[in-house]
Each structure stands twice: as structure tokens, then as C-alpha cells.
Amino acid sequence: MRSASYAFVAFLLAFHAAAQTEPPKTAGAADAFEAIVPVLRHPRCMNCHSAGDFPRQGNDSHPHTMQVRRGPDGQGTNSVKCSTCHQDHNLEGVHMPPGSPDWRLPPPETAMIWEGLTDSQLCRLLKDPRQNGHRTIQQIVEHMSTPLVLWGWNPGEGRTPIPMKLVEFQARVREWAAKGAACPTGTSPAENRERD
């Protein structure tokens, strides 16, 4: 009887040790998210996700020269609508209006402003359905392949495209989601090395 008890205790200890060495489902998710942060902070993304009620433009992210405002649906106000100049494609020529289907800012109720956020805050914003347009994690992954997002890799003459290869970006987005969509922790780059 005593040997059976010892065997059972040994089994439990071995099981516990094995459980401790298995990586959690979220292992690597925060690293995958941090890999996409340079894309999210690139001017091609930040010009529509910056503070204020207006888009920005250029690599220096200056306020839009046409004095465009977000408007109730993110497509501008009155006669200054995004579609007045921005078509469903880039217009030919240096610094001509860029374009993509559904060219607009996020609507005011889910403005998705991430300028000034830490990596952790940005990650949590993307995951929050109350702020991200009621999207699930899978829908966020799908959004990262919409024509408007893909435009960042083909922004038209005179604009710097996103430097990370598109296939690498999409793979990292899928990896982040598949591994549990964990976010980096901390409020500064040094603290972001810790993981939740």
C-alpha cells in the first residue's frame, strides 16, 4: 500500500513538473505583437490614427492641407469629403492624392487613436470591441488585409511605403492571434520586455 502511495505521489510530481515546462498558449504572442508595432507606428498608419479630429499626411505627419475633419462617419464633413479627392486607387504623379476603396478615417465613436500609447495600450485598444469597431480578434486579423491597410505597402509616388514585407507583417498578425493575442506589459519600452 505504501509503495502504491509513493508511486502515486511520484506520478503527481512528474505530472506537475511536465505541466510547468509546457509553454502557455500565449507564449510568443506579445513578441509577435511587438514585431508589428513598427508598422502600426509608421506614417502610413499613424496619419489616420493620430490625435485630433483630422487626418495627417506626409512622412512628417503634418495636418491635412485641405482642412479635412473626421465627420460623423469618418469620411469628412460637408463639401470636404475624403472621396472629393481620394479615389479607389492612387492617382498618377508625385504627391497626387492617394487612394483605396473605402478611404476614410475611423468614425468618431471608435476613433482608434493610438498616438502616444505604449505598446501595451495599443494592443489593448486593438483588442477592445468597444473601441475597435466591434471586431473580434479574427476580424482584426482580417482587417489587416483590407485594401485600405494594404495601401500602406503601395502608397503612390513620392511616399515611403511600409518597410516591413507584407507577408511578414501578416504572418506576425496571424501568429499574435493564434497564440492568444497577449499584449506586452509595462508603460515604457524597457518595461515592455515583461509579458502577461
Residue 121 within any structural domain of the chain: yes
For the entire predicted model, the pTM comes to 0.81
For residue 127, the one-letter residue type is K
Residue 20 within any structural domain of the chain: no
CA distance 73 to 173: 27
Residue 8 within any structural domain of the chain: no
Counted domains in the chain: 1
Residue 106 near residue 119 (C-beta atoms within 8 A): no
pLDDT, one tens digit for every residue, the chain (196 residues): 566 555 555 554 555 555 554 455 667 999 999 999 999 999 999 999 999 999 999 999 999 988 899 999 999 988 889 999 999 999 999 989 999 999 999 999 999 999 999 999 999 999 999 999 999 999 999 999 999 999 999 999 999 999 999 999 999 999 999 999 999 986 544 444 333 3
Residue 16 within any structural domain of the chain: no
Task: Residue 98: give the domain boundaries.
Answer: 26-193
Residue 2 within any structural domain of the chain: no
Residue 173 within any structural domain of the chain: yes
Residue 174 within any structural domain of the chain: yes
Residue 11 within any structural domain of the chain: no
CA distance 67 to 184: 36
